[in-house]
C-alpha cells in the first residue's frame, strides 16, 4: 500500500535526523550496487510529490511533502530520503531478476505523528534497507546462508522452542500478505498467509502456531478458543530473514442442504478470520507447539516419506525449503531422499505445485513427488484415487525404505488415517508381517509421525 503524508499533516516527525542520514547511506550503497551489477544509472531524480511506478506496475511509492513550510534539517533529510528511496524502489522493482522475497521484505517502519495524533506509516526507510539487502543477494548470486537460527550442532533438538507465548499472553504478529493459492475449480478456498513476528517468535519446521481470532463467542461472551495451524515455512520464513512465518489455511464453510447455500452461522471463525486478513492486520499467536513432526537431521542420509491431504502439506513445505531451497547446514549435508505424497480433489486444488516442480527439477535424485487427485484419477480397482491408493502403488518401495530406517509422516484431516492404516494392514498381511508388531517397531524407533486434526 502507499503511505502518503500530505501537506499540512506533519506537525512533528518522529524520525531522528541521524537515522535518516544512515538510511540515505543505505540508499546510496544500494544504488552503487545496482550500478555495478546492472549498469543502471537514473537519468533524473523523480520529483517530490510525484508517484514512482515500476514498469511492471507492481509497486508505487510516493512521498508528498509540504513545500511551503519552513525548512528544517529533519524535513530536508526526509525529503532526500524520499527521493533516494523512490529511485531505489523504481530501479529494483523494474529489474526482471528481482526475487519475490524482495517484494515481501519491503515494508513500512517509520511513523509520522499527524495533527489528530493518529499514526501513519511512511513506508520508505525499510524499503531502502530491504531493497539494499536484496541487491546484495542478487550481486552475490543468491541468498546468503541461512545458518543464524541453528542449534549447535544444527541437528540437536535440545533447544527446540515450545510454548514461548501462551493463551493469556499471546504474541501479536502483523500480516504481510494473504493470497489465495488455489484455482477457480478447487473445492474450497485455501490461502497462504505471511506474518511478521520481528524475529521474536522462533520456531522449528514441523511445529504449529496457535491463533486466537478477535472478538468473543456468542454463546458465553468468552474469548475464542485457540486454533492450531501447522507452520508452512521454515524457521527462516519466506523471505529468508528469520522474521516471518507462514500459514496455509483453508476457509471452513458449511453448506446447508435445506437452504442450498452456505450457512454463515456455522462457518469456521478462525479460518475465515485468517483468510480475510489484509496486510497490516494484527494476529494473536501462541506457541510454538509440537515435537512430533520434527525432522531427525543427525543422519543426513535419512529418507523422509511425507503424506498429506489438503493443508496438511504445511509442515512439509517447511521441510522441503530447509532441505532444498535454503542454504542451511541441513541442506548442505543432506544426501537422502524426500518423497512427497499429496492428496487433493483436482488439479486446481494442488498446493505449492510450482515450488515442488522447481525442487524436482533441481534435485531429481533427492526429491520425489506423487499426487492423488480423487476427482481426476482412478485407482487400481477403478474407483477414485485417494491418498492411500497412491501410497499403495509404491508399497513395496515404501516398506523397504521403512525397513532401512526411513521416517514416514502423515498430516491432514484425521479422516485420512483409517483408510491409510487399513491399506498398510493389507500390505503387511500380503508380506507376511504382523501389522501391530510392525507399527509398534516403527513407533519405538521414532520413525512414525502423525499430526491430524
Q: Looking at the annotation, which residues are catalytic?
A: 229-230, 411, 451, 453
Distance CA 320, CA 298 (A): 17
Starting at the earlier edge strand, list the strands of the sheet with 304-309. Answer: 367-373, 338-344, 304-309, 407-412, 448-452
Task: Pull the grid cell for residue 85.
Answer: 528511496
Long-range pairs of 385-391 with CB within 8 A, sequence gap ≥ 24:
386/343, 386/419, 387/307, 387/308, 387/309, 387/341, 387/342, 387/343, 387/412, 387/416, 387/419, 387/420, 388/416, 388/419, 388/420, 388/422, 388/423, 389/423, 390/341, 390/343, 391/307, 391/341, 391/420, 391/423
Q: Is 332 helix (H, G, I), strand (E, B) or coil?
A: helix
Decide: 315 and 293 in contact? Cβ < 8 Å.
Answer: yes
The CA-CA-CA angle for residues 326, 330, 331, to 5°, reads 45
- The closest alpha carbon to 275, from 171, 414, 412, 175, belongs to 175
DSSP output for 99-141: -HHHHHH-----EEE-TTS-EEE---HHHHHHHHHHHHHHHTT
Going from the C-alpha of 81 to that of each of 14, 78, 250, 321, the distances in angstroms are 14, 5, 41, 36
Q: What is the dihedral of CA 209, 215, 221, 227, to 10 degrees?
A: -20
Q: 56: burial class by Cβ within 10 Å (0-12, 13-18, 19+)?
A: exposed
Residue 280 CA, distance from chain mean position: 16
Decide: 387 and 306 in contact? Cβ < 8 Å.
Answer: no
- The closest alpha carbon to 105, from 238, 1, 257, 294, belongs to 238
Distance CA 81, CA 54 (A): 18
Distance CA 155, CA 176 (A): 30
Distance CA 34, CA 30 (A): 6
Can you tell me which residue has the cell 542478487?
138
Amino acid at each position: 500500500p502507499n503511505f502518503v503524508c500530505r501537506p499540512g499533516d506533519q506537525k512533528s516527525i518522529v524520525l531522528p535526523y541521524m537515522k535518516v542520514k544512515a538510511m540515505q547511506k543505505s540508499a546510496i550503497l544500494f544504488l552503487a550496487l545496482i550500478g555495478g551489477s546492472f549498469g543502471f544509472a537514473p537519468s533524473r531524480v523523480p520529483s517530490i510529490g510525484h508517484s514512482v511506478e515500476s514498469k511492471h506496475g507492481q509497486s508505487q511509492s510516493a512521498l508528498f511533502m509540504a513545500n511551503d513550510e519552513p525548512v528544517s534539517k529533519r524535513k530536508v533529510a526526509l525529503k532526500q530520503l524520499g527521493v533516494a528511496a523512490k529511485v531505489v524502489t523504481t530501479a529494483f522493482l523494474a529489474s526482471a531478476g528481482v526475487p519475490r522475497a524482495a517484494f515481501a521484505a519491503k515494508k513500512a517502519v517509520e511513523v509520522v505523528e499527524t495533527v489528530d495524533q493518529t499514526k501513519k506509516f511512511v513506508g520508505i526507510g525499510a524499503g531502502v534497507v530491504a531493497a539494499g539487502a536484496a541487491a546484495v543477494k542478487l550481486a552475490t548470486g543468491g541468498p546468503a546462508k541461512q545458518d543464524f537460527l541453528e542449534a549447535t550442532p544444527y541437528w540437536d533438538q535440545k533447544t527446540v522452542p515450545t510454548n514461548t507465548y501462551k493463551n493469556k499472553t499471546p504474541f501479536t504478529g502483523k500480516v504481510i500478505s494473504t493470497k489465495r493459492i488455489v484455482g477457480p475449480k478447487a473445492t474450497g478456498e485455501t490461502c497462504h498467509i505471511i506474518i511478521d513476528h520481528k524475529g521474536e517468535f522462533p520456531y522449528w519446521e514441523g511445529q504449529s502456531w496457535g491463533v486466537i481470532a478477535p472478538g468473543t463467542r456468542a454463546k458465553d461472551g468468552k474469548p475464542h478458543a485457540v486454533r492450531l495451524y501447522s507452520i508452512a515455512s521454515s524457521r527462516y520464513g519466506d523471505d529468508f530473514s528469520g522474521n516471518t512465518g507462514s500459514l496455509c489455511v483453508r476457509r471452513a464453510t458449511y453448506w446447508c442442504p435445506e437452504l442450498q447455500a452456505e450457512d454463515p452461522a456455522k462457518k469456521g471463525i478462525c479460518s475465515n478470520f485468517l483468510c480475510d486478513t489484509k496486510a497490516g492486520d494484527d494476529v494473536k499467536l501462541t506457541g510454538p507447539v509440537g515435537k512430533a513432526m520434527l525432522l531427525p537431521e543427525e543422519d543426513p542420509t535419512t529418507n523422509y516419506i511425507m503424506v498429506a491431504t489438503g493443508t496438511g502439506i504445511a509442515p512439509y513445505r517447511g521441510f522441503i525449503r530447509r532441505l532444498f531451497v535454503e542454504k542451511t547446514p541441513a541442506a548442505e549435508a543432506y544426501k537422502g531422499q524426500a518423497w512427497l505424497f499429496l492428496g487433493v480433489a483436482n488439479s486446481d486444488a494442488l498446493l505449492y505445485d510450482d515450488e515442488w516442480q522447481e525442487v524436482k527439477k533441481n534435485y531429481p535424485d533427492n526429491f520425489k513427488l506423487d499426487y492423488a487427485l480423487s476427482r481426476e484419477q482412478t485407482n487400481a480397482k477403478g474407483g477414485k484415487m485417494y491418498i492411500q491408493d497412491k501410497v499403495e502403488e509404491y508399497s513395496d518401495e515404501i516398506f523397504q525404505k521403512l525397513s532401512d530406517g526411513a521416517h514416514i509422516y502423515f498430516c491432514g484431516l484425521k479422516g485420512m488415517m483409517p483408510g491409510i492404516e487399513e491399506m498398510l494392514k493389507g500390505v503387511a498381511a500380503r508380506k507376511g508381517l504382523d501389522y501391530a508388531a510392525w507399527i509398534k517397531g516403527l513407533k519405538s524407533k521414532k520413525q512414525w509421525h502423525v499430526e491430524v486434526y
